[in-house]
Chains A and B, each alone.
Chain A
Amino acid sequence: GNSVTQMEGPVTLSEEAFLTINCTYTATGYPSLFWYVQYPGEGLQLLLKATKADDKGSNKGFEATYRKETTSFHLEKGSVQVSDSAVYFCALGPTGSSASKIIFGSGTRLSIRP
């Protein structure tokens, strides 16, 4: 069945470091791909999305490119800030087998040191 595998955390970086969080997926059909972010005590917020192969989603300095050939959607940011500390979830959008549910990875906790 469809699934998402993402890099295990926690990831700890210094401020202004380069960030990569790896995400790969298995899917039938052509789902949209998402990155959601969850700050402490809050629900999930959509960070960025890509709806088809080679699309690049971007928001708040974060980027991810939908790579069909490697079934990947890695999250990157050139210079992280303390305020980026959160849990990041890679997610697979609905496909023909289910018109509704998003399948989430297990999350990667990111901590940024000042």
Chain B
Amino acid sequence: DTGVSQDPRHKITKRGQNVTFRCDPISEHNRLYWYRQTLGQGPEFLTYFQNEAQLEKSRLLSDRFSAERPKGSFSTLEIQRTEQGDSAMYLCASSLEGFNQPQHFGDGTRLSIL
């Protein structure tokens, strides 16, 4: 059983650099979600896709953040001009379509800004 896969697991970069994370969802799942989790807090929703369409974005997702899912399979999350406050764990999840479908999470990408 292949779960949600995220790459890289850790990313350390200097302030001002751009970073890109990748998420591969469970293959039959057409919904994909991005969350951000800071230390000691629960995950906060950033955005979600149904197939290749980005259907909802949180106001947490500033204009430095962009997410894509070009072919409705894997997704990328890019952060431009990183800031100290971007340091967090970025979690990807996927689910089947439907209101009560559980979301399955990957192990996350931990971003540290120097």
Q: Would A100 and B33 count as touching, CB distance under 8 A?
A: yes
User: CB of A34 within 8 A of chain B?
Assistant: yes
User: CB of A32 within 8 A of chain B?
Assistant: yes
Q: Would B42 and A49 count as touching, CB distance under 8 A?
A: no
Complex interface bits, B38-61 against A, C-beta within 8 A gives 1, otherwise 0: 001111110010000001101000
Instruction: Bin the interface of chain B by size.
Output: 20 to 34
A34 partner residues in chain B, CB cutoff 8 A: 102
Query: Assuming the A-B contacts A43-B91, A46-B104, A49-B102, are A100 and B40 also in contact, with contact meaning beta carbons closer than 8 angstroms in the complex?
Result: no
Instruction: Bin the interface of chain A by size.
Output: 20 to 34
User: CB of B100 within 8 A of chain A?
Assistant: yes
Query: Assuming the A-B contacts A43-B107, A46-B104, A100-B55, are A107 and B41 also in contact, with contact meaning beta carbons closer than 8 angstroms in the complex?
Result: yes
Q: Would A106 and B106 count as touching, CB distance under 8 A?
A: no
Partner of A100, one of B42, B45, B91: B45
A17 partner residues in chain B, CB cutoff 8 A: none
Smallest CB–CB gap between A91 and chain B, Å? 8
Q: Would A45 and B105 count as touching, CB distance under 8 A?
A: yes
Spell out A's residues near B (CB within 8 Å): 4, 32, 34, 36, 41-46, 49, 51, 89, 91, 93-94, 98-107
Q: List 30 A-B contacts (CB under 8 A).
A: A32-B100, A34-B102, A42-B107, A43-B105, A43-B107, A44-B93, A45-B105, A46-B103, A46-B104, A49-B102, A89-B42, A89-B43, A93-B100, A99-B99, A100-B31, A100-B45, A100-B48, A100-B56, A101-B33, A101-B45, A101-B56, A102-B45, A102-B103, A104-B42, A104-B43, A105-B42, A106-B40, A106-B41, A106-B42, A107-B42
